């Protein structure tokens, strides 16, 4: 392993790299509609374009920032995006930034707890499975998580909703609330609606992490310090959860960062099935209506969230391993 620099320098160099990636993502967002074969306005309007008078087309072009030389368009786009002007939604007739602001919080309300709870679940289950390797517990956990890992999230959501919503009637059929509640009752109502989607996403996230934790615990329990912890007279659980798991967490952090995108995609798809008013539902409706400004804004904000999440994961990684401080 390479020698590590001073922590502050490490953070600074990471920050610069993420800044560059941010810049590239913004450029990608700008270039995508302009790189596609054909004229962007024609692409957006589809068949209607052939009926529209030329001056209307010109006006639309100006509206969408598609007029003038490419570099002028680029600087205008950059300025607009940074000042929060992300264009107007065709579908809901309001600024894209507003629509996204409304939906993003509901996605995060599912995504963030799912990431944390899933990692916890995977850590405990993976550690126990590794410790009692080849026992019934290990085989059971492995089979269950592997099956969960393989099934499409949105399909599992449909099955869960069918069984627990339609058949048993234990949980609501979707959306965030049932209606007019406020205060504590509102929070309880939202929590109630959250059980199924959050539970599903937590287990999905855990399924991704389980094998990672299991593998890294297995390789760590051959370490001398694990033997030493046992020889000191620590109980099995203290050896496992203090000395073994603690050192197995670094790979988990790396994998969590890599899997952010996958889990987020899962969240978006699951939202659609549960009519959860987050980014997934917004995107779904925007696809149906070919609402390009919303799709571009959604891509941008999700990419930025991913960037931030990866940056945080990097920082946690440095903090977890004293040898890197």
Partner 1 sequence: MSRLRHILTNNKARNAGVAILLLFALCATLAPWIAPHDPWEFGPAFLHPSTTNLLGTNDVGQDIFSELLYGTRNSLLVGFAAAFIAVSLGTVVGLVAGFRKGVLDDLLMGVTDVFLVVPMLPLAILVSVYLGPSIWNLILVVGLLWWPSTARVIRSQVLSIRESGYVESARALGAGDLWLMWRHVLPNVLPLLMAKFVLTVAMAMLMDASLSFLGLGDPIAKSWGMMLRYAFMRGGFVGGMWWWYVPPGLAIGLCILSLTLISFGIEEKSDPRLKRVLER
Partner 2 sequence: MSELLRVANLSVVFDTPAGLVHANRGINLTVNEKETLGIMGESGCGKTVLFLSLLRLQQPGRIASGSIAFDGRQLTGLTASEMQQVRGRQIALVPQDHSTALDPAFTVGQQLDEALMIRENGGGLWKTSLMGCRARDRSARLDEIRAVLSELALGELVDTGRLLARYPHQLSGGIRQRVLIAMALLGHPRMLIADEPTTALDRASRAQTLAVLNALCRRMTMLIISHDLEAIRTTCDRVAVMYGGRIIETGPMLSVFNKPRHPYTRLFLSCQKLSRGDDLPEIIGDVLNLMDFPPGCSFHPRCPQAMPVCSLVEPAEVHFDDAMVACHLYGSGENTC
Exactly one of 1, 47, 93, 150 binds partner 1 (CB under 8 A); that residue is 150
Instruction: Give yes or no for residue 264 binding partner 2 (CB under 8 A).
Output: no
Q: Which does 295 bind (CB under 5 to 8 A by kind): partner 2, partner 1, none?
A: partner 1
* 34, containing H or E segment: helix 7-35
Residue 83 half-sphere exposure toward CB, CA atoms < 13 A: 8
Instruction: Give yes or no for residue 321 binding partner 2 (CB under 8 A).
Output: yes
Instruction: Give yes or no for residue 218 binding partner 2 (CB under 8 A).
Output: no
The residue (of 132 and 284) whose beta carbon lies closer to partner 2 is 132
DSSP 174: S
Q: Which does 232 bind (CB under 5 to 8 A by kind): partner 1, partner 2, none?
A: partner 2
Residue 43 half-sphere exposure toward CB, CA atoms < 13 A: 13
Ramachandran sector of residue 169 (left: φ over 0; alpha: ψ -120 to 50; beta: rest): left
Instruction: Give yes or no for residue 152 binding partner 1 (CB under 8 A).
Output: yes
Task: Return d(Cα 286, Cα 322) in angstroms, integer.
Answer: 47
Considering only 58-66, 77-85, 120-128, 253-261, which stretch makes contact with partner 1 by CB under 8 A? Answer: 253-261
Exactly one of 72, 231, 289, 304 binds partner 2 (CB under 8 A); that residue is 231
The residue (of 17 and 232) whose beta carbon lies closer to partner 1 is 17
Burial 142-161 (b: 16+ CB within 10 A, else e): beebeebeeeebbebbeebb
Instruction: Give yes or no for residue 302 binding partner 1 (CB under 8 A).
Output: yes
Q: Which of 104, 66, 110, 56 is nearest to 293 (CA)?
A: 66
Exactly one of 54, 169, 233, 288 binds partner 2 (CB under 8 A); that residue is 233
Considering only 4-12, 49-57, 117-125, 315-323, which stretch makes contact with partner 2 by CB under 8 A? Answer: 315-323
């Amino acid at each position: 392993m390479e020698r590590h620099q001073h922590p502050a320098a490490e953070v600074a160099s990471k920050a610069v790299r993420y800044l560059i990636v941010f810049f590239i993502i913004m450029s990608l967002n700008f270039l995508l509609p302009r790189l596609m074969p054909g004229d962007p306005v024609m692409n957006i309007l589809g068949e209607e374009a052939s009926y529209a008078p030329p001056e209307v087309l010109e006006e639309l072009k100006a509206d969408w920032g598609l007029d003038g030389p490419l570099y002028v368009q680029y600087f205008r786009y950059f300025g607009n995006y940074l000042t929060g002007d992300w264009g107007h939604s065709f579908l809901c007739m309001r600024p894209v930034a507003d629509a996204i602001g409304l939906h993003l919080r509901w996605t995060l309300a599912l995504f963030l707890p799912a990431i944390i709870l899933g990692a916890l679940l995977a850590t405990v289950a993976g550690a126990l499975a590794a410790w009692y390797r080849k026992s019934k517990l290990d085989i059971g956990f492995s089979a269950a998580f592997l099956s969960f890992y393989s099934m499409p999230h949105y399909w599992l959501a449909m099955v869960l909703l069918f069984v627990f919503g339609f058949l048993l009637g234990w949980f609501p059929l979707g959306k965030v609330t049932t209606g007019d509640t406020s205060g504590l009752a509102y929070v309880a109502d939202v929590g109630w609606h959250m059980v199924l989607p959050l539970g599903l996403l937590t287990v999905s996230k855990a399924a991704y992490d389980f094998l990672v934790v299991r593998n890294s615990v297995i390789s760590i329990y051959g370490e001398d310090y694990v033997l030493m912890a046992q020889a000191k007279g620590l109980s099995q659980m203290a050896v496992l959860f203090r000395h073994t798991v603690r050192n197995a967490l670094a790979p988990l952090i790396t994998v969590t960062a890599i899997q952010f995108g996958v889990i987020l995609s899962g969240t978006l798809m699951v939202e659609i099935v549960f009519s959860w008013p987050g980014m997934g539902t917004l995107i779904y409706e925007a696809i149906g209506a070919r609402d390009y400004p919303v799709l571009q804004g959604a891509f941008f904000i999700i990419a930025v969230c991913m960037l931030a999440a990866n940056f945080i994961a990097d920082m946690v990684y440095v903090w977890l391993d004293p040898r890197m401080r």
